Amino acid sequence: MGVIIGGVLGFVIATIFQCVPVAGSWEKTLPAKCINNAWFRWWWAGYNTATDIWICLLPMPLLARLQLDTVRKVGVMLMFALGLFVCVTSIVRITALVQSVNTTDPTWGSWDALLWSAIEASTGIICACLPFLKHPLKQMFPRLFSSFDSKVSRSRPTYKLSALSQRGHRTHPNGEWQNLESSKVATGTGSIGTGGSEEAIVPGHIMMKTDISLKTERLDNPELLKFDSFVNNEWVQAKSGARFEIIDPATDTPWASCPIFTAQDVPQVVESAHVAFQKFAKTSPRQRAEWLIKWDSLIKEHKMDIAKILTHEAGKPIREAAIEVDFSTASLLWFAGEAERIEGTVATTSFPPGRRAFTIKQPIGVAVGLLPWNFPISMLLRKIGPALAAGCPMIVKPSPETPLSTLALAYLAEKAGFPPGVITVLTTDLDNTPNLSEALCKHPLVRKLTFTGSTRVGKIIAAHCAEGVKKVTLELGGNSPYIVFDDANLVQAAMSLMMLKWMNAGQACISANRVFVQSGVYEKFAEMVKEHASKIVVGHGSAPGTTMGPLTSSRGLEKVLNQIDDATKLGAKVILGGHRVSNNPGYFIEPTIIRDMTSEMLISREESFAPVLALYKFETEEEVTKLANNTSMGLASYVFTKNVDRIWRMFENLEAGMVGLNSGQSSTMETPFGGTKESGYGKEQGKQAIEEYLITKTGVLALEGHI
C-alpha cells in the first residue's frame, strides 16, 4: 500500500514541477524537457503490473481464509475475474515494451485505450477490497495500525463476531495498560459467524458441510462481546500489546482475539486486587449477597447471547450451552445465601476457669481461579461464587480456548455493581499460560488458589503454591467407573449413561470413562447403548438439529484417536464410530463405542476426554470393585443395581469423592464437589466450599479477676 501511495504522489509531484507536464510525454510531437520518456513508460508499466498481479492474487487468500455466503462468494469471484483481466493486459503491455524498446511510443495504437486505462480498474478493485485488507496489513505492520485503530475505535462503536478481531493496541508509555472499551474496539456487525450449510442430517455421523458458509447470529446485546482483559472494571491490553486468536473448533477458523498477558503483568494486577480486598472484605454479607443475586439475574437475562458465544468458542451445541448457563447460575444463588451464614463459635473453657474462647471467620485474601475450557461458565461461577460471598476478590485466568464467555460474565458483574478490582479476568495464550500461572501462584499477596485441570498440571500448581504455603483447591482428572449389575434397571442405566457420556462430547472430568457391565446383561446393554448413540447428530453447535459438537482442541482429537488405535491393536472391537470426520475442518470425531476392553489399554489407565464409550465385562461384585478402584484417580463413580445392600457396600467401598447411585449425577449444588487420591483435594459447592476462602481466628478472653 505504501508503494502505491508513494507512486501516485511521485506522479503528481512530477506533473506539477516538470518544465513540460508529464502528460506531454505521451505525445510524439511534445517530448518532455525534464523527464526521460522511456524511463517513465517502463516505471508506469511496472507499477501497473504490480498492482494488477496483487489484485489478481488478492481474492485467493480471502476465499481460503474467510467463510462467505454464496452471494458474497460470487462477488469475490467476479473481482477475481476482473483482476485476472487487468493482469493479462499488464503482461501484454510488458511484452510490447520488450519487443519495441527502441521505438518512440511502443504502446501507442489500437490497444492504447485498453492497456493504459487498466490502472483505473486496478485502483477501483483495491479500493473495494480495502476493508478485507485491514487484517493482513495489520499483521504485517502492527505498529503502524495500532495508533489508528485506537483512535477510530473510540469514535465509531461497532461490533463483530464473524471475522477475526486481531487488533494491535498501544500500551501506555510508562508500561501500564492502555484503557480500552472493548465494546468500541471490536469492529463489525454484532453477529457471530457460524459454519454450516443446510444439508442432510445423518444420525451417528457428522452433518456434511460441502459449503461452509457464514450465517449470522446476532446478539441481542452486542456489548457482551468483549475482546480485552478486565482489570479494575476497565477493558485493558497487556503491556506487550500482543494478542492471540480464538478458534471455532467446529471450523478450525479464528474469529476473535484476546490480549496475551504474561508474568510481567502480574504484580500490578495482584496489587490492584489487594487494594480492592481491603474494602471488599469489610462490606456486609447482605451487600455481597445482593450483588451476587443481581449478577445471577443479569446472566439469566442474557442467557442465549452467552450461550451463542460459548458455542463458538467451545463447540458445544447451543442447547447444551444454554443448559450450562442455567445450572451454573445456581452457584450464585446458593452462595448468596451462604454469605449470610458465615458464623463463628463461643465456648466456656473448663481449664483454666474464668475464660471465654471464641472464633470468627474472615476472608483469606486475594484468590486466583485457573479455569478449564470444557465448562468455562460453570467453573467460573462455582469458584468465584464462594470467594465473593466470603469477601475475597478473585483474579480469573480463563483457558486460552474459551476466554470470551468469561469476559461476557465479567461485563455483567460490573453491571451488577461489584466494585473495581473485585473481579479480574486475565487472558493469555497457551504458550504463556505456564509462566502467567506460576507468577500468580507465587505472588505473596495471593493467599488462595483454585484450579481445575489435569493431574499433571495440578501437581505443578501445588508445588508452586507450597513455596508460599498457600491454601489450594485442586479439582483434577478423573477415570470414573460406571457399573451396571445384572439386576439393574437397564433402561435407566442406559439413558443415564447417554446423558453423562455424550455431554459436551465426552469432555467432562466426571464422565463415565470405563463402563463395567455384568456378564448376564453385557450383550443386551451393549446393543442398547449402540442403538441410542447411533441417533446422535454431530455438527456445528449452531446448526439446527445438532446434538453433539466437536472436541474443543486439536490436542484432544489426537489423544483420543491414539487411544482408539491402542485399544483395537490390543484386541478391543469398535462397534460404532471410531474415526475422525475427514471431510470437515473442525475437530470432529464420530460417537464411538468399543467393547471387550481390558485393563492394559490406554483408555483404562488415563482419562479419555472424548465421546468414546469403553465397555468392560465383569462377573462378581468383588471383581468389579477391584477393577473400579484400579486407578490413581478417585473423582466420581456410578453404580446401578436394585439391591439396596449392594448399593451401600459399593458406596462405601468405591474410592471416589462422589458416587452416583442409580443416577448419572454424582453431586448437586447443595453437596460438596471434589475427589480423592490424585483427583485432588478441597471442595467446591455445598457449605464446605465457602470455608475454602475463610480463615478461622481464635480469641480467648479472661474475665475480670482471673489471671
- DSSP letter string over 652-668? HHS--SEEEESSS----
The answer to whether 304 touches 539, Cβ cutoff 8 Å, is no
Tell me the per-residue pLDDT of 55-111, one tens digit each, with 9 for 90 and over. Answer: 666 555 555 444 444 555 566 666 666 666 666 666 666 566 555 555 544 444 444
| pLDDT confidence tier of residue 351, bands split at 50, 70 and 90 | confident
Tell me the per-residue pLDDT of 448-465, one tens digit each, with 9 for 90 and over. Answer: 999 999 999 999 999 999
Determine the pLDDT at residue 31: 47
- The C-alpha atoms of residue 103 and residue 25 are separated, in whole angstroms, by 13
| pLDDT confidence tier of residue 582, bands split at 50, 70 and 90 | confident
Average pLDDT over residues 604-624: 95
Amino acid at 178: Q
- The C-alpha atoms of residue 316 and residue 414 are separated, in whole angstroms, by 27
Please check the confidence at residue 407 and state whether its pLDDT lies above 50: yes
What is the set of domains in the chain, with CATH numbers?
Answer: 2-140 (no CATH), 145-186+225-475 (3.40.605.10), 480-678 (3.40.309.10)
Determine the pLDDT at residue 184: 33
* Pairing status of strand 243-248 against strand 423-425: unpaired
Please check the confidence at residue 9 and state whether its pLDDT lies above 90: no
Average pLDDT over residues 468-489: 97
> Pick from 406, 384, 404: which is nearest to 394 by CA?
384
The yes-or-no answer on residue 475 being catalytic is yes
The catalytic position among 217, 320, 475, 678 is 475
Backbone φ/ψ region at 590: left (φ over 0), alpha (ψ -120 to 50), beta: beta
Determine the pLDDT at residue 185: 31
- What contacts 11, CB < 8 A, 6 or more positions away? 22
* Mean per-residue pLDDT of the chain: 81
Least confident of 178-182, 349-353, 670-674: 178-182
- The C-alpha atoms of residue 596 and residue 516 are separated, in whole angstroms, by 10
The reply to whether omega before 352 is within 30° of 0 (cis) is yes
Q: Specify the higher pLDDT residue, 354 or 487.
A: 487
Q: Per the structure block, which three cell numbers stand in for 249?
A: 473448533
Q: Specify the higher pLDDT residue, 198 or 134.
A: 134
| pLDDT confidence tier of residue 218, bands split at 50, 70 and 90 | confident
> pTM score, two decimals?
0.72
> Pick from 235, 150, 261: which is nearest to 407 by CA?
235
Determine the pLDDT at residue 19: 43
Least confident of 55-69, 138-152, 356-370, 525-539: 138-152
The answer to whether 308 touches 411, Cβ cutoff 8 Å, is no
Please check the confidence at residue 201 and state whether its pLDDT lies above 50: no
- The C-alpha atoms of residue 217 and residue 154 are separated, in whole angstroms, by 25
> Pick from 183, 25, 10: which is nearest to 106 by CA?
25
DSSP 285-298: HHHHHHHHHHHHHH
Please check the confidence at residue 571 and state whether its pLDDT lies above 60: yes
Amino acid at 472: V
Buried b or exposed e, range 71-84, using 16+ CB within 10 angstroms: eebeebeebbebbe
Determine the pLDDT at residue 312: 94
Please check the confidence at residue 608 and state whether its pLDDT lies above 70: yes
> Pick from 233, 241, 283, 279: which is nearest to 259 by CA?
241
Determine the pLDDT at residue 172: 35
Determine the pLDDT at residue 173: 30
Residue 34 has, within 13 A of its CA and on its CB side, a CA count of: 11
Q: Per the structure block, which three cell numbers stand in for 359?
A: 472464633
Rounded to the nearest 5 degrees, what angle is found at the Cα of 239, between the Cα atoms of 237 and 245? 50
Q: Specify the higher pLDDT residue, 258 or 30.
A: 258
The sign of the CA dihedral 461, 463, 468, 473 is positive
The answer to whether 548 touches 312, Cβ cutoff 8 Å, is no
- The C-alpha atoms of residue 663 and residue 496 are separated, in whole angstroms, by 6
Q: Per the structure block, which three cell numbers stand in for 227?
A: 475482546
Please check the confidence at residue 536 and state whether its pLDDT lies above 60: yes
Tell me the per-residue pLDDT of 14-46, one tens digit each, with 9 for 90 and over. Answer: 544 444 444 444 444 444 444 455 555 556 666
Tell me the per-residue pLDDT of 304-330, one tens digit each, with 9 for 90 and over. Answer: 999 999 999 999 999 999 999 999 999
Q: Per the structure block, which three cell numbers stand in for 218?
A: 446476532
* Pairing status of strand 633-634 against strand 234-236: unpaired
Determine the pLDDT at residue 581: 85
Tell me the per-residue pLDDT of 219-250, one tens digit each, with 9 for 90 and over. Answer: 999 999 999 999 999 999 999 999 999 999 99
